[in-house]
Amino acid sequence: MPTQRLTRRAHRWLLPFVILAAGPGRALAQRVDLSPARWDPAERRLFDSLTRHWSRPIPLARGKAGIISGTSGAAAVRAGLEALKQGGTAIDAALTHAMAEIVLLAGCCVSHAGFMTLVYYDAASGKVHSMNAGWNTVLAETDPLSIPNDRPSGRTALVPGFMAGAEAAHRRFGNLPWAALFAPAIHFAEEGTALDPVIAGMIASKKAVLERLPATKAVFTRPDGTWYQAGDLFRQPALAGTLRKVAEQGAAYMYTGEWARKLVAAVQADGGRMTLADLERYRPIWAEPARTTYRGYDLFAIAPPTTGGVNLLEALNLVEAADLRSLGHYTSSPDAAERLLRIARTADLMGSSILAMLLEPRTELVQRYAGTVDFSIAGRLSKAQARAIAERMGSADWSRLDREAFEQQARTGSDHSDAVVVADARGNVAALLHTINTSTWGSTGIVVDGVSIADPARYQQRLVARTGPGHRHPDPTNPLMVLSNGRPILASSSIGTGLHEQTLQSIVNVLEYGMDPKRAVDTAQFLRPLGPMPRPGSTAGDTTRADPASQVIAEGEFAPALLDALRARGRTFTVVPSRLGSGFRGGWVGIVLDPVSGEWLGAGPRFFNGWALAY
């Protein structure tokens, strides 16, 4: 493949590396250069174009040697594939993708100071691992209920875990040198990329936030002070400098080094209580995954305090207990659709929603319900409890609980994330999620040497209070690994406000109905009952929320006869134009092992700008 000449600085940085293999004593000398400067120019133009065009179909990827699928940043997916081709493991490729994709998204939805969760199958040991590198609450934040939500405040920042988690995962499972993983991200930040219309639109919509601090405004404006527009060459030199130092010095640069001191100063300047002690004591958590079985498969998800893994496993237990397959597919069978909707609501009620309910006075109905159900992790993953709940889901009380789950969802906040799943030639498989866990760039507009700082405590004050100072903050992320006879046959991860709904329906389409991942993700799905929508006849920016008791669907996705049958059972629907559906849906990426061909098959959601590649 033709290569382009590297700049002198890049050439000095990308000296020949030594790849250290996973096992001791197995060293292989090789030049590792993951920079997009090595790509064929036509290929670079292709992936630049794919990255700048959102809401387009993603072809099914197939390959036996390696595969990667990401929700966002097609060029970052290509960078992850390059890591696989140059001898990287699944974690090398996943981290290469994540580092680069944050740059391509200009830190709007993800950040090198966000957080990540990971489920990883290590082929050498045959074991599945769970790593939580989520937020820590701030040690000195002793009155979280007073954290402002109506004005910018440094108190809304939580202690980041992304880079510490990335380094910990790489130390345990990586094969390429740590510094090599940063080459695509540094290239995109230093050389620049054409600003795509979606990111340009986000910048335009958040000008009030992004211009609040001079250092932040300088990132998003041209030298003459005007805002970057779609198509402009968008460079991020400060971020490139930060990434170069992390590549050289490790994650310590962001937790005990110069960047850490700058973060603390920036947060405290806005009234925050974070100190260097918060950063110095941060550690990712390795734990035994949450697990269950499903029709003979072994399922593994992120361990608590993350709630999303248990929510998903509990929902799949309910699907199995309800024998959904026998009712037909939910797009054609009213019985299957009604059962699936209730299962999705139940897992939300008992999982992410119950966290909020525990902080508020429970209704008499919830108290009565809670008295007969075991809310412990063991109880929620119990097959016997799943069977008992499946039998009760048709009752009048359950219909009322269904509505309460809807209403609880309507009170939860919005966040932004990205997901990537990878399998390598050695048999290792990674399912990773990383996020800023808030709206684009948050509300403070703090950027520290090119790294965006989120404000997740702005809308999670009660949960921060329940977590307590200096502890790991719960989150709803749900990467999943499915094994058959001890080997991975499916890995998935999901993003967005509807990550639970879209993950559940996509996994059901694969495991219950035998679809490949592209059919699974492209098949019509019910959306999460959450998010702003235009008022009829309104002007731009005039929004309302969907009726919390109404199921959201995208226009034209379901047959009218199915919807009429569900309405006859008491369901109501809020229909949104397909182009607005992304405000209510999640984005699922998955890879599935074809038992006949032995190939990995991969796909992703058509509503974002990701891609899937294999070889």
Q: Which amino acid appears at position 162 of this protein?
A: F
CB 116 within 8 A of CB 432: yes
Strands (E), 230-366: 233-234, 285-287, 290-294, 297-301
- Report d(CA 69, CA 139) in Å as an integer: 37
How many alpha carbons fall within 13 Å on the CB side of residue 282? 32
Q: How many other C-beta atoms can be found within 10 angstroms of the C-beta atom of residue 285?
A: 18
The SS3 assignment for 182 reads: helix
Strands (E), 537-594: 543-545, 551-554, 573-576, 587-593
Sign of the four-CA dihedral 219, 96, 417, 584: positive
Residue at token pair 């990550």 = 499
- Report d(CA 178, CA 382) in Å as an integer: 41
pLDDT at 345: 76
pLDDT at 195: 95
| 3-class SS string, 48-70 | HHHHHCCCCCCCCEEECCCEEEE
- Report d(CA 372, CA 467) in Å as an integer: 26
| pLDDT averaged over 10-residue windows placed end to end, the chain, 615 residues | 32 35 37 95 96 92 97 97 98 98 96 98 98 98 96 98 98 98 98 95 96 96 95 97 98 98 98 98 98 97 93 94 94 95 75 44 51 76 88 68 55 66 98 95 97 96 94 94 98 90 95 97 85 40 51 91 94 81 78 96 93 97
CB 75 within 8 A of CB 47: yes
Phi, psi of 527 (to 5 degrees): -100, 165
What is the token pair recorded at 563?
Answer: 């919807």
Strands (E), 155-289: 193-194, 233-234, 285-287
CB 129 within 8 A of CB 111: no
The SS3 assignment for 150 reads: coil
What is the token pair recorded at 119?
Answer: 């489920």
- Report d(CA 579, CA 607) in Å as an integer: 9
What one-character-per-residue DSSP string does 423-489 give? E-TTS-EEEEEEE--SSTTTTT--EETTEE---GGGS-HHHHHHH-TTSBPP-----EEEEETTEEE
pLDDT at 547: 57
- Report d(CA 238, CA 219) in Å as an integer: 8
Q: Is 558 exposed, middle or buried (0-12, 13-18, 19+ CB in 10 A)?
A: buried
What does R_g of the chain's alpha carbons equal in angstroms?
A: 23
Spatial neighbors of 394 by CB under 8 A, at least 6 apart, are none
The closest alpha carbon to 110, from 33, 44, 174, 166, belongs to 166
Q: How many other C-beta atoms can be found within 10 angstroms of the C-beta atom of residue 585?
A: 27
CB 32 within 8 A of CB 583: no
Residue ranges of domains in the chain, CATH in brackets:
1-50+66-130+284-440+461-615 (3.60.20.40)
The closest alpha carbon to 262, from 113, 141, 137, 144, belongs to 113
CB 118 within 8 A of CB 89: no
What is the token pair recorded at 140?
Answer: 């000195």
Classify strands 115-122 and 429-435 as parallel, antiparallel or unpaired: antiparallel
- Report d(CA 495, CA 478) in Å as an integer: 9
Strand partners, 19: 28
CB 65 within 8 A of CB 602: no
Element (H, E) at 231: none
Between helix 237-249 and helix 258-269 the angle, nearest 10°, is 130
pLDDT at 349: 62
The SS3 assignment for 222 reads: coil
Q: How many other C-beta atoms can be found within 10 angstroms of the C-beta atom of residue 545?
A: 13
- Report d(CA 339, CA 272) in Å as an integer: 46
